[in-house]
């Protein structure tokens, strides 16, 4: 069969039901095969949109997201999504077209060395040199993308090779001698960690996106509830532990709660699970959790002691390790009352510093209120994708996620323009669920063209635009740290969003009145199809609390 037909067969064998892409000369053979492959393909309006859509699909479903692009500029448009997927460990496969092999290295038309360009930002990449390797490369790509610490894999296929005739037999067991992720976790280390936890007087569970990736939320909950252990989640970990919950301290880090950050600061034992001690979490590294010993569970051995030295490292899959941890813990004698003082301290912080804001007394819409209104209108049951900025932090703070894979976010890279296409991908992967996108007026314009994709494919994403007329988060930093010199953060000539959405064929409405907000949001939700609500919020509101960059948890402001 034609190599591109084998490519389609391999994708189907891997369970691909939808992919996002954009055609061009170098992947024309592939698009010819897609024509009657029976795989749902969504034509995006920019390859970056396709890449983020694949991420949104993967993050919300746990399956591998697939995105296609042609060679040269098509492929380079995928660089940002690939980097984003790497930072957040998103299982994704990117398939790019490449110029013919006789043109490789000659600066041929639309040639770009995409494997070279993306080398530092992929988990793995495969450049096809023999057409017979195409199906095998696809199987390897999926295997590497979804196992171990998930991540992006690029497969680059020269145009002439994709036109060859080859035989294809699907393979299920990929053998890569240099790639052997550890799953099980060392039994002795697990026992040691259980003992350490039983002896801790001020323990904290610090939970990251790895728990979501490992589908280990239930296992986490079981362990956390053996005794009343306090739990905090990173931005990417939100939903891994249900919120709100008496044991949940809220998010930690730069815009986390005081209870979570102070608890980390005073903890004697931190159980880090699938979290990587990012600088947005640790602040000033030398003053991070100064009294704590660290148990670190991670599937990627290179994360252990990368930023913070681990006292008990456990390499492996949280889904396998946590139940064994619980079992070890149950076999120990421990005394829950040893944590009594600790909980008193935590309750004191919770009472003294709740997550709160000063709401308006008139009709003005405060951005925090807007998130609460979204929560109310969706009954807390939506998949929420956000973009990057203040709105993202407020969404993280004020929308309580009852379970994992409801919060679709660009956490590690912080990519503006992520939200809309990621929401689109999440909606494509979860047709039964309500998917909303909370975006900012800056972020939304970074991949605004995907409104066309939404409209064409009737993908019912509800976009709730937190419109403050500013690049709000940057403005906040300028206000706080740069003497209020607002250099190039005023979005000035904003489009008429309602007209714009209308031009794309999308239902839209503007809302300026707080009392009507929930109703308008509900109207958008009830509308059959994609919708946009342009919510005019307070222009200069700041995201608090905050640990200023490079400072310690104790230095929180606001």
Ligand X SMILES: Cc1ncc(C[n+]2csc(CCOP(=O)(O)OP(=O)(O)O)c2C)c(N)n1
For the chain, the C-alpha Rg in angstroms (whole number) is 24
Select from another protein, ligand X, none the partner in contact with residue 416, using the beta carbon and a kind-dependent cut-off of 5 to 8 Å: ligand X
Q: What is the size of the binding site for another protein (CB under 8 A)?
A: 35
The reply to whether omega before 244 is within 30° of 0 (cis) is yes
Q: Which is nearer to another protein, 332 or 557 (CB)?
A: 332
Instruction: For residue 195, state whether it binds another protein (rule: CB under 8 A).
Output: yes
Question: How far, in Å, CA of 142 to CA of 144, rounded?
Answer: 6
Q: Give all strands (DSSP E) within 47-121, no chain letters.
A: 65-69, 92-98
- Should residue 415 be labelled a site residue for ligand X when binding is judged by CB under 6 A? yes
Determine if 442 is a binding residue for ligand X (CB under 6 A). yes
Partner from ligand X, another protein, none contacting 311, C-beta within 5 to 8 A by type: another protein
Contact partner, 188, from ligand X, another protein, none, Cβ < 5-8 Å per class: another protein
Bond preceding residue 462 cis, omega within 30 of 0? no
Q: Give which of 399, 360, 354, 404 is closest to 380, Cα–Cα.
A: 399
Which residue, 331 or 557, is less far from ligand X as judged by CB? Answer: 557
Give yes or no for residue 471 binding ligand X (CB under 6 A).
yes
The site partner of 440 among ligand X, another protein, none (C-beta below 5 to 8 Å per kind) is ligand X
**What is the Cα–Cα distance from 147 to 143, expressed in whole angstroms?**
6
437 binds ligand X (CB under 6 A): no
Peptide bond into 284 cis (omega under 30): no
Nearest distance from residue 119's CB to another protein, in Å? 5
Binding mask 289-308 for another protein (x = CB under 8 A): ----xx-----xxx-xxx--
C-alpha–C-alpha distance, residues 414 and 224, integer Å: 30
For residue 135, give the 3-state DSSP assignment: helix
Structure tokens at 461: 């994403």
Min dist CB 394 to ligand X, Å, is: 8
472 binds, among another protein, ligand X, none (CB under 5 to 8 A by kind): ligand X
311 binding another protein? (CB under 8 A): yes
Q: How far is CA 470 from the centre of its chain?
A: 24
Burial 22-37 (b: 16+ CB within 10 A, else e): bbbbbbbbbbbbbeeb
Q: Which does 195 bind (CB under 5 to 8 A by kind): another protein, ligand X, none?
A: another protein
User: How many Cβ atoms from other residues are within 10 Å of residue 317's Cβ?
Assistant: 24
Tokens matching residue 555: 């230095």
Scan residues 225-284 and list those touching another protein (CB under 8 A).
268-269
Minimum CB–partner distance for residue 364 and another protein (Å): 47
Contact of 269 with 292, CB cutoff 8 Å: yes
Between 42 and 437, name the residue whose CB sits nearer to ligand X: 437
Q: Is 527 left (phi over 0), alpha (psi -120 to 50) or beta?
A: beta
CB of 487 to ligand X, least distance (A): 12
**Quick one: residue 188, left, alpha or beta (phi over 0 = left, psi -120 to 50 = alpha)?**
alpha
Considering the rule CB under 6 A, would residue 495 count as an interface residue with ligand X?
Answer: no
541 part of the interface to ligand X, by CB under 6 A: no
SS3 206: strand
Residue 179 within binding range of another protein, rule CB under 8 A: yes
The answer to whether residue 440 forms part of the interface with ligand X (CB under 6 A) is yes
Kindly tell me which residue out of 101, 186, 199, 215 binds another protein, with binding defined by CB under 8 A: 199
3-state secondary structure 77-94: CCHHHHHHHHHCCCCEEE
User: Binding of ligand X at residue 370 (CB under 6 A)?
Assistant: no
Residue 438 CA to residue 431 CA, distance in Å, equals: 19
Q: Which is nearer to another protein, 303 or 387 (CB)?
A: 303
Tell me which residues in 368-427 interact with another protein (CB under 8 A). Answer: none
Q: Interface with ligand X by CB under 6 A: which residues?
A: 387-391, 414-417, 440-443, 466, 468, 470-474
Binding site for another protein (CB under 8 A): 115-116, 119-120, 123-124, 127, 129, 144, 176-179, 188, 191-192, 195-196, 199-200, 268-269, 293-294, 300-302, 304-306, 309-313
């Amino acid at each position: 069969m034609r190599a591109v037909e084998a490519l389609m067969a391999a994708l189907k064998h891997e369970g691909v039901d939808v992919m996002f892409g954009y055609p061009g000369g170098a992947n024309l053979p592939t698009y010819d095969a897609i024509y009657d492959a029976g795989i749902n393909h969504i034509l995006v309006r920019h390859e970056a949109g396709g890449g983020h859509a694949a991420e949104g699909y993967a993050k919300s479903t746990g399956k591998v997201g697939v995105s296609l692009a042609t060679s040269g500029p098509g492929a380079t448009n995928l660089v940002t999504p690939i980097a984003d997927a790497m930072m957040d460990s998103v299982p994704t496969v990117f398939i790019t077209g490449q110029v013919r092999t006789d043109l490789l290295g000659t600066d041929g038309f639309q040639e770009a060395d995409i494997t070279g360009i993306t080398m530092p930002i992929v988990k793995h990449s495969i450049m096809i040199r023999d057409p017979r390797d195409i199906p095998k490369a696809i199987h390897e790509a999926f295997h590497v993308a979804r196992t171990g610490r998930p991540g992006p894999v690029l497969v680059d296929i020269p145009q002439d090779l994709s036109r060859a005739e080859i035989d294809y037999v699907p393979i299920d067991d990929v053998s890569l001698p240099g790639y052997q992720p550890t799953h099980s976790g060392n039994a002795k280390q697990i026992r040691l960690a259980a003992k350490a936890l039983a002896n801790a007087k001020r323990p904290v569970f610090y939970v990251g996106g790895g728990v979501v990736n490992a589908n280990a939320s239930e296992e986490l909950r079981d362990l956390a509830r053996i005794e009343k252990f306090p739990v905090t989640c990173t931005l990417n970990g939100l939903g891994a532990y249900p919120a709100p919950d008496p044991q949940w301290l809220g998010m930690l880090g730069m815009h986390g709660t005081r209870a979570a950050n102070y608890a980390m600061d005073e903890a004697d034992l931190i159980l880090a699970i699938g979290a990587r001690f990012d600088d947005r979490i640790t602040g000033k590294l030398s003053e991070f959790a100064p009294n704590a010993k660290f148990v670190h569970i991670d599937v990627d051995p290179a994360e252990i002691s990368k930023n913070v030295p681990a006292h008990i490292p456990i390499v492996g899959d949280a889904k396998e390790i946590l139940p064994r941890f619980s079992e070890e813990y149950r076999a120990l004698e421990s005394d829950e009352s040893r944590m009594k003082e600790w909980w008193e301290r935590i309750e004191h912080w919770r009472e003294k510093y709740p997550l709160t804001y000063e709401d308006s007394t008139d009709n003005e819409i405060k951005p925090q209120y807007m998130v609460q209104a979204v929560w109310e209108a969706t009954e807390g049951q939506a998949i929420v994708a956000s973009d990057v900025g203040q709105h993202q932090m407020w969404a993280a703070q004020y929308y309580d996620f009852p379970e994992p894979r409801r919060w679709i976010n660009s956490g590690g890279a912080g990519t503006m323009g992520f939200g809309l296409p990621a929401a689109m991908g999440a909606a494509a992967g979860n047709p039964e669920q309500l998917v909303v996108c909370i975006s900012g007026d800056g972020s939304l314009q970074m991949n605004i063209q995907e409104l066309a994709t939404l409209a064409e494919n009737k993908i019912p994403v509800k976009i709730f635009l937190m419109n403050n007329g500013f690049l709000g988060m940057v403005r906040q930093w300028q206000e706080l740290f740069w003497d209020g010199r607002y250099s190039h953060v005023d979005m000035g000539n904003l489009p008429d969003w309602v007209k714009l959405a209308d031009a794309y064929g999308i239902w839209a409405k503007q809302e300026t009145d707080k009392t009507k907000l929930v109703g308008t949001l509900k109207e958008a939700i009830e509308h059959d199809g994609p919708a946009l609500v342009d919510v005019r919020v307070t222009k200069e509101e700041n995201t608090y609390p905050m640990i200023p960059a490079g400072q310690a948890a104790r230095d929180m402001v606001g």
